[in-house]
Amino acid sequence: MLAAFTLAIGQLGDRGILAVIGKSLALTLAVFGVLGAGLWYGIAALGPSSGVALLLAGLLSVALLWLLFRLVALAVLQLFGDEVVRAVEARHYPAAAASARPLGWREELRVGVRGLLRAIGYNLLALPVALLLLVTGIGTVLVFAAVNAVLLGRELTEMVALRHRDAAGKAPLPGFATRTLLGGVVVALLLVPFVNFLAPVLGAAAATHLVHRGRRP
C-alpha cells in the first residue's frame, strides 16, 4: 500500500494526471458556482436586498462546499478516472495497457448502476447502527467511514480491474482487506483540507498499482 501511494504521488506531475486534476477541480468549482448562483436567486426572491442575498448565498455556498466537496469531487472523478488509470498504465505497465479492454457505454452504465445500488444498500444497512451510536459522538462517523472505505476500495479497484477482465468476464480484483485499506486511506485523505481534491486521483493511481501488482505471478 505504501509503495502504491508513493508511486501515485510521484506521478502527480505527469501531464495526463495534471490535466485530470485541472478538469476535476474546474468542474467541481463550476458545480458549486451554479449552486451559489441558484442560492443567490432563491434568497433574493424571498425579499432581502441584493447585498444581503449575495452575502447569505456566499456563506451558504462556502458551508456546502465544505460539507459536499468530497462527494462532488468523487462524482466528477467518475468522468475522468479512466484517464488516471491509462496514464499510470502507460508509464508503469505498458504491456498491460496495450492489452486493456475498455468498457463500452452499456457496460459502464451497468457498472455505474451496480455501484450506486451497492452504495445505497451498504449505507442503508449501516444507518441503524450509526443512529444507535449517535450518543457516542464519534461512533456514527466511524461507521460511515468504514462503510465508505469498503465502497471506495471496491469502486477504485474495479475501475482498473474491469479493463483487464478475461474472456469469461472475470476481473482481477485485489482481496477484500487490500481494497478496504485502500478505501480507508482515501477516506482519510478526503478529510484533509486542500489534500482532499487530490485524494480521488491518488486513490485511482494507487488502485492501478495494486491491481497490476496483484496480477503478477
Share of the chain above pLDDT 70, in %: 80
Domain of residue 176: give its range: 2-215
Residue 208, pLDDT score = 93
**Whole-prediction pTM value?**
0.79
pLDDT digits (tens, 9 = 90+) for 10-37: 999 999 899 988 888 887 778 777 877 7
Confidence of residue 177 (pLDDT cuts 50, 70, 90): very high
Residue 205, pLDDT score = 94
pLDDT digits (tens, 9 = 90+) for 183-196: 999 989 888 877 87
Mean pLDDT value of segment 111-131: 80
Question: What grid cell was written down for 87?
Answer: 496514464
pLDDT digits (tens, 9 = 90+) for 61-109: 666 665 566 666 666 667 788 889 999 999 999 988 888 887 777 777 7
**Whole-number average pLDDT of the chain:** 81
Closest CA to 9 of 23, 26, 25, 21: 21
What is the tally of structural domains in the chain? 1
3-class secondary structure for the chain?
CHHHHHHHHHCCCCHHHHHHHHHHHHHHHHHHHHHHHHHHHHHHHCCCCHHHHHHHHHHHHHHHHHHHHHHHHHHHHHHHHHHHHHHHHHHHCHHHHHCCCCCCHHHHHHHHHHHHHHHHHHHHHHHHHHHHHHHHCCHHHHHHHHHHHHHHHHHHHHHHHHHHCCCCCCCCCCCHHHHHHHHHHHHHHHCCCCCCCCHHHHHHHHHHHHHHHHHCC
d(CA 141, CA 191): 12
Confidence of residue 140 (pLDDT cuts 50, 70, 90): confident
Question: What grid cell was written down for 153?
Answer: 476500495
Least confident of 66-70, 80-84, 152-156, 164-168: 66-70
